[in-house]
Structure 1
Amino acid sequence: MKQVNHTVQSKNLTEPAPINHSASSSGTLLYRVIEGSVTTPQGFQAGGLHCGLKKATRNDIGAIVCDVPAVAAAVYTTNSFQAAPLDVTRASLAEEGLLRAVIVNSGNANACTGKQGEADAYRMRSAFAEQLGVPAHHVAVASTGVIGQLLKMDCVEQGIAELPGNLQSGANGAEQFSQAILTTDLVKKEVCTVVRVNGLDVHIGGSAKGSGMIHPNMATMLGFVTTDAEIDGRALERLLKQVTDATFNMITVDGDTSTNDMLVAMASGAAGNEQLDEQHPDWNAFAAAFQHVCEHLAKSIARDGEGATKLIEVRVTGATSEDDARAIAKTVVGSSLVKSAVFGADANWGRVIAAVGYSGIKVNPETVDIDLGAIAVLRQSTPVLFDEDAALVYLKGDTVVFTIDLHMGDGEATAWGCDLTYDYVRINAAYRT
């Protein structure tokens, strides 16, 4: 992950069963989206402050803290060069699968920093644990920022000493935390859902950062999901992996997979429901609400891609399998030529069909349909005359959807990305300076 000093501003922009997003058989909604973030679920506080890792006086260290040991799970980047905080978090979760807190800094990735970087990450863990009076292995660590620079540990330790006094359970705590994890992001990313479990309200909140170096496998970003549900730890881990594959692993900004990033989920159990797992009668509703949180955060990252002006959504249907549909969707949304055409509001569907063809997935070259929004541009691999002016108007909107029907099977998937603009080059040509 990278840091650019600029002002945050608004921007338009056993395996679990398959998750059902529709209403239940009785017609009632499975969950509701409400205003909130990681502090909305019962039992959580958060906060952030400026400790001096960034030149600008923006928050650069933050934390989420649970009142009790929370059932926890995490997924991590697949980059071969993994930053020290990932190893520390793995070690923490390996002890009991429980967390009381996660401590996060921005402005410095603590990646490719050798033995000293590893020692610094463990020092972050132990220092915050000491402040909270909890075992060291109940603290996770995350970092994001410039690669290859040692942390200014005097600044970090001063920030850690001050953080407990900045923790709050309300919206301001979530706001300060969200600001603390941003790097090149222009907007914060947060969301909350509420779902009924055993007749009780269960909340799921999320906060994430990510704008550049986004090509997840796992997700190249930092993401944090909290819930007050009582849930089996192994079921949470399975759900997190399943949902990650359908959300964070389906976004791309620039094709670069980061060294640092991870998604951490924590469950306080404060809602008082009977323990959730895949056999619980309300599991499907909880899983759908959990997936909504992750999908919202993932799409927010894609929409806030460095220099981006548009969100691109690619829907693939009719594939021979879900895996094939995912591979094609990610290939199309990651195409530099497709991204450039969207930026220029050019209805050049030829770039879309070319990306389908080089995706590595076998397709029937005579049965492909492509729609640009509601405008048909290709039917059975044959061009369709369409209104260029209408296409231009559509492409000038802030969301562009390509629908690709392969007519080969039942596999389907959706991927998200953004356009490729002049500003992306400007931001990344000078992010260290």
Structure 2
Amino acid sequence: MTAEILQMSVQEQSRSEVIRLYIEGHIKQKEAARRISLSCRQVRRLAKRYKQDGAKGLIHRSRGKESNRKLSAAFKAQVIGLVRKHYWDFGPTFAVEKLCERDGLNISSETLRHWMINEGLWKSRSKKKKANHPIRERRPCIGELIQIDGSPHDWFEGRSGKCTLIVFIDDATSKLMDIHFYPTEGTQAYMEGLRRYMSQYGRPAALYSDRHSTFVVNQVDAKSGEQITQFGRALKTLDIQHIPANSPQAKGRVERSNLTLQDRLVKEMRLAGVSSMEEGNAFLAKYMQKHNQKFAVKAISDKDAHRDVIHSEEELNLIFSKHYKRKVSSNLAVQYNNTTYQINIKNIGYAMRGSTITICEEFNGKVTLLYKGKSQKYTAFKRGEKVQQPVSDKTINHVVDQTIRNQNKRQHYKPSIDHPWRRNAIGSSTKKRTVLFWGKEDISTLR
């Protein structure tokens, strides 16, 4: 007769040995209960099963049976079908959120992960050994330190052109304070973003950024010697401290947020049918609320470090504009962008001659002349085409694309048949000759 082979866990084998010793009278009931960490009542139950079925009676009775909580094959097929159709490039956790939110299907992320791996829809990622970076504690109050960064990416997956997402995130809470799409990352994007931020929350204590040329003068102009950027000058006027980071890891909160946005926001906009920068900016408020509910944390302190905005709208218009210094000529005129600005002043204005005046150019093209903080009336005289300003590597693609679009819009002018440019070239094949004053033809022929 073939002996039956039992599959028992280590715990079941230990219990079997102790119960056998108890039944044979080698140990007392309390000692058996102590050895297997069970009550005396449970020891008597196990002893009864052992007497009836032997060691087999101590094996867990659910072994080899399907769980009552097992999901049906039809449910699994429905979930996998939806994942293949709508969430094929989603991670398991994000896909579970969308299945619950959009399709009303509840499933654990771990179960879906196993299903997606088996179906070839997800590959488990090997974790690389990360470099060690010193941990910095969060600031205790909201509004004390705001990390800012621009994230250029194909946000609309080819449905529209590439653009940059400007991100403002609070250090104390990891809360997205403001996000907005712009064609490029530059002074205008950050100035408009900060002004929109201030209109909602007030002035933060400090901004934490990388060393992009918008924030830091990386190469001092030998002629002007300027040590501050346009954005830096605006921050100084608003009494907001700027702190440049020495590495991307130093401002890791906004860097990790950019990676999350490049994953989740892109897919959310795809599901919502968002296909342009304008539609994207309208969608961001709804997304930001959902994002903060999931990822934001509570600040250590309940204090809000934001300060009131003390400048008027007219003053903010001048603060958030580009400032340039120019010398006033003896006839009270200044030159800027191939344009002469003649200052209109009632008195003679001797004091203003040879002095320095500030030209403030807003992003809508409006120009204001400031002398000792006061606006001056002027008359503008255009002097040719606008000089192209130097561009950085982050804006060169946008500039080239805009140039090509402008060139395609231009209609090439073709002179009429009787235009002076063409008059001598049409209807005459006789070459011009010069004639000397005594009436004889010169041997030279004009070509």
TM bucket (normalised to shorter chain) is under 0.3
Which structure: larger Rg? 2
Q: TM-score, normalised by structure 2?
A: 0.22
Relative to total residues, which structure has the larger helix share, 1 or 2? 2
Relative to total residues, which structure has the larger strand share, 1 or 2? 1
